[in-house]
Structure 1
Amino acid sequence: MEVADLTDLMVAFFGFWGGVARLSSARLLGSPWNTLLVNLLGAFLLPLWNNFFGIRLTKNRRWILVGVGTGFFGAFTTFSSFCLDFMRLMMAGRTTLALLYLLLSMVGGLIAAWLGTIFAQRLSLKGMSY
């Protein structure tokens, strides 16, 4: 099996599990708050995976790194549900809540990704000093 085929297989495999995790989390909180929580969590964890844990755990097996990063986190987080939740709030006349949701999602997502990146960098620096 070629590495490209293995990468595709891993994206599908981990994508299945990301979707299962997303569905399971959707049962805990209602929309739009579940979508917000999942997207913020994914925005924080993806840089940690790509910049620290994935690099160390996969031992240069790019197919696992891509499988988890693209597959799991791609299926776990969801831009389409974010858009749908925003539109539902707008259509229901809950404009203030919709705009708050939009702001929390966008700014919160950027901050979460930034924090995940900073955390990964700090973990990397700590690991280098041993």
Structure 2
Amino acid sequence: MTAPRPTTTGEPVDPDVDLRVPARRRPSWRAQGPIVAAVAVGGAVGASARYAASLAWPVAAGGFPWTTLWVNAAGCAVIGVFMVLITDVWAAHRLVRPFFGTGVLGGFTTFSTYAVDIQRLVAGGHPRTGLAYLAATLCAALAAVWLAATATRRLVAWRQR
């Protein structure tokens, strides 16, 4: 590995990036535009699905936010399956991962609602419920992605025999 080249300002320079080459200076909107659009459209789809789930299964004030917990766990499970499929099974189009992985699943799962739910529980005099929700969501999300990825890998390996 080569050490970074010092500049006249004393800041190190990444040896893998030659800023004299115009394409390396900044990303082209021609290259990035479709990716940004795919993430935006996917995010709208995912966020709409999450909102529909919150309307279908509302939570009472001060109650345990089961809907958000299950949405986040289900989204993490789908992320586990999706990542195995696009990395181990088939080469997807370059916009599939930004659209579905970052957009749809990123919009469907929700850290912001999770954080607001915890804040509301604590501010509403339910700190233990807030702490339980914090831990339960973390454990459920991690378990869901791990179990789904493991099961998908095993299923793929079994089908390939």
Classify the TM-score, shorter chain.
0.7 to 0.9
Cα 1:87/1:96, change in 2 over 3 Å: same
Distance 1:94 1:19 in 2: 27
Highest RCO, 1 vs 2 (Cα 8 Å, sep ≥ 6):
1
In structure 1, stretches of 5+ residues that fail to align are none
In structure 2, stretches of 5+ residues that fail to align are 1-28, 60-64
- 2:37 alignment partner in structure 1: 9
The answer to whether residue 73 in structure 2 is matched with residue 40 in structure 1 is: yes
- 2:102 alignment partner in structure 1: 70
Cα 1:68/1:99, change in 2 over 3 Å: same
**For 1:1-130, what aligned pairs fall within 5 Å after superposition?**
2=30, 4-31=32-59, 32-52=65-85, 54=86, 59-129=91-161
- The two structures have a TM-score, normalised by structure 2, of 0.71
Q: Is the 8 A contact 1:14 1:71 kept in 2?
A: yes
- 2:16 alignment partner in structure 1: none
Q: Is the 8 A contact 1:28 1:34 kept in 2?
A: no
SS at structure 1 position matched to 2:145: helix
Give the count of matched residue pairs: 128
Q: Note the C-alpha offset of 1:16.
A: 1.2
Distance 1:56 1:2 in 2: 29
SS at structure 2 position matched to 1:62: coil
CA RMSD of aligned residues (A): 2.1
Residue identity opposite 1:67 in structure 2: F
Cα 1:2/1:64, change in 2 over 3 Å: farther
Q: Note the C-alpha offset of 1:2.
A: 4.8
- The two structures have a TM-score, normalised by structure 1, of 0.86
More helix by share: 1
